[in-house]
Structure 1
Amino acid sequence: MPVPVPPTPAPPEPASPPFRQIGEADVDDFAAFLLDPSRTTPVVLLSPDPHRHDGTPLVSPARLIEQIRDKAEVAVFTDQAAARTLRALIPNLNVWGGAARIIHTGATLKDTKHRHPLITISSGSSDHAITQIQKWLHKTPAAPGTTDANTGTARPDPRDRGRITYRADSTEHLRSLLAHERRKSSGLRQENRQLRKALKAAQLRTDAAPPVVYADPEQQFRYEVEQCWLRQIPEADRPRWPLAPYALGPDWLGSLHITQLVERRKILEVTVEVLTALAATIPGRQVHRMRAREERGGNPLVRADQAIAMRCHLKNQTAAAPRLMWWRLPDQSIELARVALHDDTHLR
């Protein structure tokens, strides 16, 4: 009599990560969750490392969860697009550039960004960042109202006049509000773009060219980069967006003749964006790795010293639009390579 063979057990389903992963399609629901007045736990929201394209944050979510235990929930943006979408919906809760934000309970559309602290994180400082997050989670967030010393009851915040009251049982109500904010933000962004174009046109008409203060072309270029950085980055943000160490490749200065198609001012502005890593957060720049052959499926272009070839747009919606190319070295310093037209990909 044959011996029955026990059935092969089905393989276990892969465990889902113990933290929320927020892609662009998840932002509406996530925003409603953040604004839900019945939420009882703070959320630590991590943004992607701006130097990577796989959505990895600078702090390990699993390690962060181990350290804060049940003090807060951890959520992670899977890409920069999700971070931009939340910024359009709830500007004061946005987080970017590898930073983290602690979003306390009771969050509303009217909250100031200071009620939900932002923790800036740099490469190699994850331990310090986790310590800072732990400290903030032990603090009690500032309440929006005040307390009457005689009765001990909360007085309404004068800023609350006209504030919307949320219904804890109405997710649809929250989504409706968010849709309204999205439409309003879209209109404001369009108006902002028009104003920026008008301002830039006025600057090009009235601003003088940078003064020539050095006979040496490299010294002059470095001077212009520093001056552009000081103009573009507000003083309060300069510690967060410093200029990376950089060198000028053998073809860099000679390639600047392309100013016939792109103003030198524009090259300087985009150079500053590259050196501060801001370019990776600007959709129009389209920062990407170069390939040995600029075609689909070509291998990434890597130099013998393991420097990675990168490039981004200087102009958009222009035939043979100019590009800025550079090498990103293993120590994260930058070697500016060339400014060239779209189809000119020669590098050395």
Structure 2
Amino acid sequence: MASTWLVDSAEVGHLVARIFDVARTEPLVVVSPVSETGSPRISVEYLVGQLPPGTEVAVLKTMKASRVLSDTVDTQFQCYGGSVRVILPGATRTDYWRRHRLFTVYPEDDEEAACRLIARHVVNSQGAGPAQHVSGRAPGGILDMRQAAELAEYRRRLIDRSSEDGVDEQAPPRQTPPGFPGPKPGPGLRKVVAAAPAQATAETAPAPQPAPEPAAQPTVTRERAVTVDAEALEKMLDRKVDAIVGRVTAGVEEGLVALLNEELQAQDRERSRADSLAEQNADLQQRLDAAQGAGRDVRQVFADPEKQLRWEIEQAWLTGTPESERSAALSTYTLGPQFLESMDADIVPRAKTVRVMVDVLAGHAWDRHETHQFTTAARGGRPRVREDGATAWRTYVKAESPGAPRLTWWQCVDGSAEFAHVGHHDELI
């Protein structure tokens, strides 16, 4: 059965040492958590049951452990965002990034199907040794582009010649070009001259006349006929061209796949960082809400809701406003018929709503919060004005997003305020 061990941030160093341990002979499966739940997206127990015996399963306990691992190792060994990495034996820092496969598991994926896929990959990878790092290129039997072009031109000439002649013919006899002497003949016959009378001397004896030379015969030369199988040559050329095209296509596809995987890994890293930031933001928000006093964690003084709220407003003004700023009392105010009911919805912390109400009554709604007139339409509407002349205003209670909760109140003509509603932006009064 596969062995499992939990890895926290302090034990990441041991995990890294195990990844590059030369004595490790079985695959090492690393499982990472997600920020939403702090646990993996797959069932580790089910995965262990599917893996072959001897496989090691390292489960990162926290997001911090995942971040420490990503900061310690190279990209081809990182594991984050709920993904699962299968690290083969003989791992080195110079391994090709596709050797140790990363399985990305999304929330909508079938957990058991993902576990079976990972286990099948582990089974198929058993017995894999260290990565083979080959330098240089092995010689191939494929022509280069120049040779292929020359071969194609030669093939074309042969095909054209075969189509014109139909059959192989011998070259006609080659005649000796005019102006050039033919081959010299042999010495020929010599004429025997009888001896002259005694009184004749050598000086007066006539010179012997050579016999006429035979006419030169033209030399005939013949070229050897060359027979080429055009069909076989065409097939050979087609095979070479197909091999070249296949090799170029494979190289392009491999490059595109590599680029795509790099982009996917970059997206996974960004998603992991986003999950981490979301986790930190949620933690900070919880601390902020706890510091401000969330919900109804206030002292109950009056049973009547309106009296209780008025007491809370007064206490917030006294405890949260310096004495130097309390020279003028708060403006008078009333509560609309739906206001207390909207306060009970607990959309925002009660203490925060009370603090915003104090700022409105103290005249700080415009300098401490984003406040605007409440119009009849989202864009281009007219300000809402009641028959008694009161004008509707909205003050942000939270300012994190355009749909954050607002405090809706009326500015009456006598200077008093009437609080009408507190709730989401889309909740109209």
Per the normalisation by structure 1, the TM-score is 0.43
Per the normalisation by structure 2, the TM-score is 0.36
Greater C-alpha radius of gyration: 2
- The answer to which structure, 1 or 2, has the higher relative contact order (CA under 8 A, 6+ apart) is 1
